[in-house]
């Protein structure tokens, strides 16, 4: 059982919804990024989604793109991202960390080497947005063999014919993208999300969390109420972009977490 599996099992046992927070590794620089990441569990975050900076983030909106650029300009690399995770693990051995990014840096490193280093650093799962199920042999299956969850995205355009393929080798949880388009582009609507979550749950026993288009505690509560949890990224990253103190960023995160945790099925 991975940390992700254990976290969702614990939440389910307590009839609680998950709150997942996304931040870009190294944004705005290594030290401040580590300070924020270390503070996320205390702010109520159940799962940390850590972005791996990349030069061509095609699925990300302007806010996340800018975060990646700031991180790259501050000298963030794959090695330093792994070092950030390892530093976090010095004080926290329970909070799950999912690395989210693109395949190119992993491919360049070499899959076997990357998986060994990621596991050693303390990464629990991967979301790699540009590897479809047809490419499961590239990273998904090796990752699971190495003990890491591989989390797949489902979207509003994932029809009934496609969904079983998407779910086939997914583990940890399913990430439902609530809107079509890029991150931070529009708001999620619980009324639209609810039937899609039910459709996914009909095909899997995995938890389904919903991201994209969630920017307020009220929206986090509404979306978590129709799913197993909510993910917030751009709204948090925008606070970091404003050069707010870590304490202020974490206070905002706590408000989002409280919103998600107050949701009822």
Q: For 188-197, what is each residue's pLDDT tens digit?
A: 888 999 999 9
Whole domain around residue 67: which residue ranges?
Answer: 3-258
| Number of C-beta neighbours around residue 13 at 10 A | 8
Looking at residues 153-167, what average pLDDT do you find? Answer: 96
Quote the crossing angle between the two packed helices 234-241 and 246-261, to the nearest 10°: 160
CATH code for the domain in which residue 59 is found: 3.20.20.70
Total domain count, the chain: 1
Q: Which residue has the tokens 């995995």?
A: 206
The structure tokens listed for 77 are 């690399």
- The answer to whether 112 is a known catalytic residue is no
* Catalytic residue, candidates 60, 124, 136, 228: 60
Average pLDDT of the residues of the chain: 95
In a domain, 265, yes or no: no
Confidence of residue 183 (pLDDT cuts 50, 70, 90): low
* Catalytic residue, candidates 5, 27, 49, 196: 49
- The answer to whether 73 is a known catalytic residue is no
pTM of the model: 0.96
Q: For 217-265, what is each residue's pLDDT tens digit?
A: 999 999 999 999 999 999 999 999 999 999 999 999 999 999 999 998 6
The structure tokens listed for 74 are 């501050």
């Amino acid at each position: 059982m991975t940390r992700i599996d254990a976290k969702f099992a614990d939440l389910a046992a307590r009839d609680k919804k998950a709150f997942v927070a996304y931040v870009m590794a190294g944004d705005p620089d290594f030290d401040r990024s580590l300070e924020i990441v270390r503070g996320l569990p205390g702010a109520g975050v159940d799962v940390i989604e850590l972005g791996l900076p990349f030069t061509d983030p095609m699925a990300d909106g302007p806010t996340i793109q800018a975060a990646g650029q700031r991180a790259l300009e501050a000298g963030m690399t794959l090695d330093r991202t792994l070092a950030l995770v390892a530093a976090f693990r010095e004080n926290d051995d329970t909070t799950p960390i999912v690395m989210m990014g693109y395949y190119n840096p992993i491919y360049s490193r070499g899959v076997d080497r990357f998986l060994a280093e990621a596991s050693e650093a303390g990464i629990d799962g991967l979301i790699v947005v540009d590897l479809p199920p047809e490419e499961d042999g590239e990273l998904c299956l090796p990752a699971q063999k190495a003990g890491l969850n591989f989390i797949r995205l489902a979207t509003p355009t994932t029809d009934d014919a496609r969904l079983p393929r998407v779910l086939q080798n997914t583990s940890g949880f399913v990430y439902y993208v609530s809107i079509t388009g890029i991150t931070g582009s529009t708001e999620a609507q619980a009324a639209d999300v609810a039937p899609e979550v039910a459709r996914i749950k009909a095909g899997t026993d995995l938890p389904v969390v919903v991201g994209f288009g969630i920017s307020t505690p009220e929206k986090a509560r509404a979306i978590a109420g129709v799913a197993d949890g909510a993910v917030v990224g751009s709204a948090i990253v925008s606070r970091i972009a404003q050069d707010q103190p870590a304490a202020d960023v974490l206070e905002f995160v706590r408000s989002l977490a409280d919103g998600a945790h107050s949701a009822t099925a």
